[in-house]
């Protein structure tokens, strides 16, 4: 499973003001996504963290699905 990471990479506006932004990278260090710079930095970081963990959450959900499927097979099995 590919491990994703994120990094704070703010922009500088023409008036010198810092605009918060985050970039998401795959395991090879290639940028795969970035956050929208309009929300507050804390909200952007939450989104970046969710994106980085989405693949792991999907894998856990697939394992849970397999467990439920096995449980249903065992519950409906006849002697």
Domain range summary for the chain, segments of one domain joined by +: 5-76
Query: Does pLDDT of 79 surpass 60?
Result: no
54 vs 1, residue with greater confidence: 54
Phi, psi of 15 (to 5 degrees): -85, 5
User: What's residue 67's pLDDT?
Assistant: 87
pTM of the complete model = 0.71
User: What's residue 8's pLDDT?
Assistant: 97
pLDDT in tens, 15-74: 999 999 999 999 999 999 999 989 999 999 999 999 999 888 899 999 999 888 877 777
Distance CA 64, CA 71 (A): 10
């Amino acid at each position: 499973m590919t491990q994703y990471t994120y990094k704070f990479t703010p922009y500088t506006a023409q008036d010198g003001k810092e605009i918060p932004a985050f970039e998401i990278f795959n395991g090879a260090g290639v940028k795969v996504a970035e956050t929208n710079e309009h929300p507050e930095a804390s909200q952007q970081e939450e989104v970046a963290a969710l994106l980085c963990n989405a693949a792991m959450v999907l894998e856990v959900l697939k394992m849970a699905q397999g467990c439920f499927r096995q449980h249903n097979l065992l519950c409906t099995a006849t002697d």
